[in-house]
Structure 1
Amino acid sequence: MKVTGMQQLVRDFAARKPAIVSLIFLVAVAACCWCAPYLTPFDPIRINLDAINRPPSVHHWLGTDKGGRDIAARLLYGGAVTLKISFSITLIITLIGTCIGMAAGYYGGWLGGALMRFTDFMLVFPLLIGVIVLKTLVKEASVTVLILTIGLLGWGVCARLVRGKVLAEKEHEYIVAAVSIGCPPYKVIWKHLLPNIVSTIVVQAIVVAASMITVETSLSFLGFGVPANVPSWGSMVSDAIRPEVLAHQWWIWLPAGLLITLTILALNFIGEGVKGAFEPRK
């Protein structure tokens, strides 16, 4: 039986045990987070003054925080928010970066130059300042606003990477042949260029997803992330800014910190596995 390219890709990926274990872990974490309403009876944002800063117990497996909120519930609901932010921003960055990089690399000339100068501007534009300014201007800041802000400001690296791959690929004979027989640009890009750089795009998207978890955590730690009434792993870790929490109330920040670390590691291993799976096909 003939093995298709996709089947071979799956086999090559499955042969890399760290990537498979990481994928299983990531799927399990995502499934638990999105099924949070069925896994915990506690409200992640409801204040309970009778259960403030309690250590892990039978009733509260991971204890409670300064508002008496169950840590396990906040971990599950917050994970759904953090993963949503990470994957949504990754989708926006990948789409914008791929479109601009493809156009700049394929067409070149004044259009490519203009797009790359705009990309250079976006690369040097400070992301943190953009988020701070927008949160100042928009009174009703939300998760959607945060996603759109970072997504619209963070596509520069992806665009440059895609442009570089397109410049290398379009010099190959199959592209020259397609152009010489009169294939329209959209067909050359969609049917010939894109399938041959998809590995670079996928690997870059996975790297971006991992980095966006770090960005969300950093912004929440500084107070510019998700709104105060929205749980996230970043906002949970931000509680460690208080010395007494860091030293004596480990259950408030350590579970979120561990999940952030393990999720980023899992995404990195998956990225390496995907990269390695694509290599035999080149």
Structure 2
Amino acid sequence: MEPSMNASSTNANKQKSDSTWTIARKKFVKRKLAMISLFFLLFMIIVSFLAPYIVNTDVTRINLAEINEEPSSEYWLGTDRNGRDVFERTLYGGRVSLTIGLISMFCVTLIGSIFGSVAGFYGGWVDNLLMRFTDFILTLPFYVFVIVLNAILIGFDRVTGMWSLIIVFSLLGWGGVARIVRSKILAEKENEYVLAATSIGGKPSKVITKHLFPNVMTTVIVQATLLLASYIVAEAGLSFIGVGVPPDIPSWGNMLMEARQTDVLQNQPWVWVPPAVCITLTILSINFIGEGLKDAFDPKTNRG
């Protein structure tokens, strides 16, 4: 009995010594669906960003001699109404859509984390001021302001359609993250380690970055995955109705825009099915990754 008890106690001590990140990583690896989704998402990102090295043709060049060609050995996914290769445009479109999603996610997470951390840590009038401004941002009709601001930014010569969407998403999308981070900071700042760091004269910036924010990082990571999916969908939806990425820049949303024509929708599925499948599978993979991260960082399942 004693050896088994010693072994169990050793395992218990080992589990206690493992950090939250180590436990979460081990649990996440065990989730097959989340791991498959992670590999698929990485594959899509790598293939999309290596598109210029995979295909060497100009995806914006119009070829009237090859209009509406069905899938063949020469054109794997056929051509569209302008004679452009659908396979090549799908690769380049993924680069644009994923770039918008990834950069917007990073900017929104950064802005929201800063606002939420400062508001939660200082409290008082600082909290009231920042949260009232956050409430104002959250009350704005998101898509209406995205369309208006995007149209304004596109008017500047140095701002392309892709970057205008990123700027607008970043300016209007951080409110939810700020509220979540603030609530976590309010709960964490009452702990003894934070009070000790403050009592010995620690600067607020160091207390926030070194003590508070690392303990809310897990929640921010899970929220970031959801943001990535939402911004990819937002780009696709806005480009589909013609107010997102300009038509001359290939994106998954722009490729879906051609499905608004009844003839293309019914008789030329090779034009819109590939980007639709890419968007669907990418969003599903991101959601599965988010669910896996949520369960991995859940302290209730850690006890199990």
Residue 26 of structure 1 and its aligned partner are, at CA, apart by 0.6
Report SS of the residue matched to 1:79.
helix
Kindly indicate whether residue 143 of structure 2 is the aligned counterpart of residue 128 of structure 1.
Answer: yes
Letter in 1 for 2:116: G
Tell me, in whole angstroms, the C-alpha distance in 2 between the residues paired with 1:188 and 1:135: 38
TM-score, normalization by structure 2: 0.88
Residue 145 of structure 1 and its aligned partner are, at CA, apart by 1.7
User: What per-residue deviation string (whole Å, max 9, x for no partner) do you get for residues 157-198 of structure 1?
Assistant: 111111111111122232233323332212221121111100
Letter in 1 for 2:82: G
Letter in 2 for 1:116: M
Residues 1-282 of structure 1: matches in 2 within 5 Å? 4-5=18-19, 6-138=21-153, 139=155, 140=157, 141-280=160-299
Tell me, in whole angstroms, the C-alpha distance in 2 between the residues paired with 1:37 and 1:95: 30
Letter in 1 for 2:62: I
Residue 31 of structure 1 and its aligned partner are, at CA, apart by 1.1
Report SS of the residue matched to 1:224.
coil
User: What per-residue deviation string (whole Å, max 9, x for no partner) do you get for residues 224-275 of structure 1?
Assistant: 1112210000111111111111111111111100110110110111111112
Of 124-133 and 18-27, more deviation after overlay is shown by 124-133
Provide the aligned length of Structure 1 versus Structure 2: 282
Report SS of the residue matched to 1:201.
helix
Tell me, in whole angstroms, the C-alpha distance in 2 between the residues paired with 1:171 and 1:234: 46
2:7 aligned residue: none
Residue 276 of structure 1 and its aligned partner are, at CA, apart by 1.7
Letter in 1 for 2:298: E
Residue 4 of structure 1 and its aligned partner are, at CA, apart by 5.0
Residue 213 of structure 1 and its aligned partner are, at CA, apart by 0.6
TM-score, normalization by structure 1: 0.95
Cα RMSD between the aligned structures?
A: 1.8
Gaps of 5+ in 2: 1-10
Report SS of the residue matched to 1:46.
coil
Give aligned-pair identity as a percent: 49
Letter in 2 for 1:251: W
Report SS of the residue matched to 2:109.
helix
Tell me, in whole angstroms, the C-alpha distance in 1 between the residues paired with 2:190 and 2:124: 16
Report SS of the residue matched to 1:81.
helix
